[in-house]
Structure 1
Amino acid sequence: MPPSLANENPAEQARPGRRADGSGHRGKIADMRILAGDPAEQDLGVDVTLSEGLLRGPAVPFLRLTKGRKILVGEARTDGTNVEVVIRAAWSDENGWRQSTWTAQDLDGTLAEPAHRVEERERGLTIAKALAEGSRNTVADLRGLRYEMERQVADLLAQRKNTALRLVMAQLVELSMAVSRARDLAQEAIREGRFTTVTMRHCEAMNAELGDEVTRLQALLSSVSTFAVAQEGEAQQRFNTLAAAAAAGLGLPALILSLYGADDYLPFTADKAWRALTPIAGALTIAAAIILTRVPGRTTAKHYLIAAGLIIGLLSILLVAGLLAPR
């Protein structure tokens, strides 16, 4: 794998022509075989020189999802002998999709597919067509990433996972940016219009498919935003319900004890304790059952266990206080 390729990461833009080996000139980077498939087949592919900063002329869009789960968006040029790849932006799946830097190692294997038989007399046209075809094929990989995000949203709606909503929305925005950036490069290639008919068809198909992905990602983001608003309202309703539960938990025992006249029961004995606490336990159980049926969302066994624990804890506090009350 070559040590460097044309790089437009922000850190490199201030130092044009800088290569990974520290040199400042541009030119040949490495000789390699591309379009031979993975694993490589001997009768497929072509030997080219990977170069940096030498080629001019029309570029085909370069879009790849690497083995390390990075989206690379850029352009590729060829004259049949040399191939140059310029990465405009990269996104990584490390800790959620976000824009990131890239290295030459991320490109390992990205020029092997699609496998092509390259005739010597049409090397340049075949290589350009194959690079454009590889970019178009990668749209299917991006579609798979959208399916993954839709699964995350579905799990979030069904409360199967406790994924942070803000993180899901941020990833949707990042993926939308990556797809939009790739579509811009496809449209730019179409506007140049200096390719063969087959190459142009790949660019046009890539543009159309990426446009569909952008629309679907934005629709998904809109749906998640609507869900976020609903979730905020649900959280407020849940808070109000819990506040009512706290008020009932504190107010009902006080009301019942004031009705009894606590002096007649204090300090507690075995006989007085159960007669004093049984009505309180019953009132708290009824209040908890009503509140649990009103809590937004699905009520699980965990909620009932928490409610039972709170009731037992409150009754334990009243029991201990009654036993320790002065005579």
Structure 2
Amino acid sequence: MDLRVLAGDPADENLGAQVTVSVGSESLDGDAVPFVRVTKEEVRRILVGHARTDGERLDVAIRAVWSENGGWHREHWRGGDVSELLRHPAHAIPGDGTRSEVIAKAVAEGSRNTVAELRGLRYEMERQVADLLAQRRNTALRLVMAQLVELSIAFSRARDQARDTLREVRNPGVVRHCEAMDAELGEEVTRLQSLLSSVSTFAVAQEGEAQQRFNMLAAAAAAGLGLPALILSLYGADAYLPFTWDKAWRALAPIAGALTLAAVIILRRMPGSTTVKHYLAALGLITGLIGVLLVAGFLAP
């Protein structure tokens, strides 16, 4: 299809060039430059590939795509219109023999500019991790780690495109942008991997905390089952059965008190912050257990 590329949005008739654009997924031979873009659609996508031009034609090869839908993940390239991604950076394109070199430089410049958007995605992941650590959101830790790995792969693939261009292209403008991409994306990959390492450490600590919580809950369950049995064995249940209302409160009040004391001690020593919901849940369990004993006492022969 014929498009006016690199003319800005809205298009400036004094900028850009009218070229024939083809988009595919097959690798391009020859002097190709990096083509890295982040779409502005409702579901953002990271496109990583390369492009080649002879001044009249611009071929784009999309080699890998990552979608934000459901958390960043790799998906197959299904084709699509990339005209929106070729409007910037707005650039004056000469009509002489340097036309192809200037278009190639502008496309590479657009890829370098995209690094800032990729950095923004890394900031978003850091915010997710911060919210997770502060318990401001309930995002699954496994999903966050998977997204960090996927973004690290995407950034590394984009960096590879810049490195491949440095080995093959001699256009000074293209080389300058690719060197900057190589350096900046290398730093982004390092920071993502450092963030992933930190999250992994947190995951280990979280597993230890979960195990400790389980042990505490097991202790609570043991207390809930053992204390009533111990107290009833000391009383001698036959003296209270079957229950009357007078016998019931005298038999169950010490049990309720012992269970409440055990629950409070366990909740205060449980790792992490203890909320009102935890106390309400404990109260509900104690009430339920006392209710079961009460009903059983009234139904005893």
Q: TM-score, normalised by structure 2?
A: 0.94
Partners of 1:238 and 1:56 in 2: CA distance: 59
Q: Which residue matches 1:49?
A: 20
1:64 aligns with one of 16, 33, 37: 37
Aligned-pair identity in percent equals: 71
C-alpha contact (below 8 Å) 1:64/1:72 kept by paired residues: yes
Partners of 2:47 and 2:92 in 1: CA distance: 25
Deviation at 1:102, TM superposition (A): 2.1
Q: Which residue matches 2:137?
A: 161
Q: Which residue matches 2:230?
A: 255
User: Is 1:127 aligned with 2:103?
Assistant: yes
Q: Which residue matches 1:23?
A: none
Q: Secondary structure of the residue that 1:206 maps to in structure 2?
A: helix
User: Is 1:267 aligned with 2:267?
Assistant: no
Partners of 1:223 and 1:118 in 2: CA distance: 47
User: Is 1:170 aligned with 2:141?
Assistant: no
Q: 1:173-226: per-residue Cα shift (whole Å, max 9, x none)? A: 111111001101111111224112x32211111111000000001101111111
C-alpha contact (below 8 Å) 1:60/1:128 kept by paired residues: yes
C-alpha contact (below 8 Å) 1:128/1:199 kept by paired residues: yes
- The code of the aligned residue for 1:46 comes to A
Q: For structure 1, list consecutive stretches of 5 or more residues without a partner in the other structure.
A: 1-29
1:142 aligns with one of 105, 118, 142: 118
Q: 1:240 to 1:143 in 2, by over 3 A?
A: same
- The code of the aligned residue for 2:35 comes to F
User: Is 1:239 aligned with 2:210?
Assistant: no
- The code of the aligned residue for 1:44 comes to L
Q: 1:81-134: per-residue Cα shift (whole Å, max 9, x none)? A: 111111111111111111112233252411111111222223212211110110
Deviation at 1:317, TM superposition (A): 0.6
Deviation at 1:287, TM superposition (A): 0.3
Q: Within 5 A, what are the aligned runs for 1:97-246?
A: 97-105=72-80, 107-121=82-96, 122-196=98-172, 198-246=173-221
Deviation at 1:42, TM superposition (A): 2.7
- The code of the aligned residue for 1:57 comes to G
Q: 1:103 to 1:34 in 2, by over 3 A?
A: farther
Deviation at 1:51, TM superposition (A): 4.2
Partners of 1:71 and 1:130 in 2: CA distance: 19
C-alpha contact (below 8 Å) 1:61/1:135 kept by paired residues: yes
C-alpha contact (below 8 Å) 1:186/1:207 kept by paired residues: yes
Residue-pair matches, total: 296
Q: 1:232-272: per-residue Cα shift (whole Å, max 9, x none)? A: 11111111111000000011111111111111111111211
Q: 1:169 to 1:55 in 2, by over 3 A?
A: closer
Partners of 1:265 and 1:171 in 2: CA distance: 61
More divergent stretch after superposition (98-107 vs 133-142): 98-107
Partners of 2:27 and 2:255 in 1: CA distance: 86
Q: Which residue matches 1:299?
A: 274
Q: For structure 2, list consecutive stretches of 5 or more residues without a partner in the other structure.
A: none
Q: 1:234 to 1:128 in 2, by over 3 A?
A: same
- The code of the aligned residue for 1:317 comes to V
- The code of the aligned residue for 1:85 comes to V
Partners of 2:27 and 2:125 in 1: CA distance: 40
- The code of the aligned residue for 2:31 comes to P
Partners of 1:325 and 1:74 in 2: CA distance: 78
Partners of 1:39 and 1:299 in 2: CA distance: 56
Partners of 1:301 and 1:137 in 2: CA distance: 49
C-alpha contact (below 8 Å) 1:66/1:106 kept by paired residues: no
C-alpha contact (below 8 Å) 1:77/1:128 kept by paired residues: yes
C-alpha contact (below 8 Å) 1:70/1:106 kept by paired residues: no
Q: 1:274 to 1:96 in 2, by over 3 A?
A: same
RMSD across aligned C-alpha pairs, in angstroms? Answer: 1.7
Partners of 2:123 and 2:269 in 1: CA distance: 34
- The code of the aligned residue for 2:120 comes to G
Q: Which residue matches 1:318?
A: 293
More divergent stretch after superposition (253-262 vs 47-56): 47-56
Partners of 1:201 and 1:54 in 2: CA distance: 23
Partners of 2:145 and 2:255 in 1: CA distance: 46
Deviation at 1:54, TM superposition (A): 12
